[in-house]
Amino acid sequence: MASIEQHGPSWRVVWRHQGQKQRTTWSSPELAADAKQIVEGYRGNRTAEQVYIDMGVLAPEPPVAPTTPTYREWAEKWLASKTRITPGMRARYRQQFRDRIFPAFGDVPIGDITSIAVGTWVNDMRAVMGSPKTVTRYYSALFAPLKAAADQGIIPVNPCRGSDVKRDQVADDDTGEHRAVYLTPVQFEQLREAFPEAWRVLLDALVETGVRWGEVTALAKMHLVPPKRGASARVRVWRAWKRGEGGQRYLGTTKGRAKRSLPIGKDLYDALLALVDGQSDDTLIFRRPDGRELDYSDMYNDVWRPALRRARRCETHPPANRGEQMPDATGRCRDYGGTRDNGKLCGARVRPGTNRCVSHYGPALDAVSTCGCPDVLVIDQPASWHDLRHTCAAWLFSDPRMTPLMISRRLGHATLATTSDIYGDLMPDLEESAVDAIADARKSAKSGRKKGARKKG
Instruction: pLDDT band for 23, please (50, 70, 90 cuts).
Output: confident
Check residue 455 and give its pLDDT: 57
pLDDT at 11: 87
Over residues 258-266, the mean pLDDT reads 92
**In the predicted model, what is the mean pLDDT of residues 387-395?**
94
| Confidence (pLDDT) at 170 | 45
The arithmetic mean of pLDDT across residues 9-37, rounded, is: 88
Does residue 410 contact residue 262 with C-beta atoms inside 8 Å? yes
Region of poorest pLDDT, from 9-13, 112-116, 388-392 = 9-13
pLDDT value for 253 = 87
> Taking 60 as the threshold, does the pLDDT of residue 277 lie above it?
yes
- The answer to whether residue 209 scores a pLDDT higher than 50 is yes
**Residue 27 falls in which region: left (phi positive, over 0), alpha (psi -120 to 50) or beta:** alpha
Give residue 174's pLDDT band: very low, low, confident or very high (50, 70, 90). very low
Are the C-beta atoms of 342 and 370 separated by less than 8 Å? Answer: no
Global pTM value: 0.65
Range with lowest mean pLDDT among 98-112, 181-195, 332-346: 332-346
Residue 349 to residue 246: CA distance in whole angstroms: 40
d(CA 441, CA 437): 6
pLDDT, average across residues 220-239 = 94
Weakest mean pLDDT among 78-87, 244-253, 319-328? 244-253
361 and 322 in contact (C-beta within 8 Å)?
A: yes
| Residue-level pLDDT at 211 | 95
What mean pLDDT, rounded, does the chain reach? 87
Q: Using the predicted structure, report yes or no on whether residue 428 has a pLDDT greater than 80.
A: no
- The pLDDT of residue 342 is above 70: yes
What is the spatial distance between Cα 114 and Cα 219, in angstroms, rounded to a whole number? Answer: 46
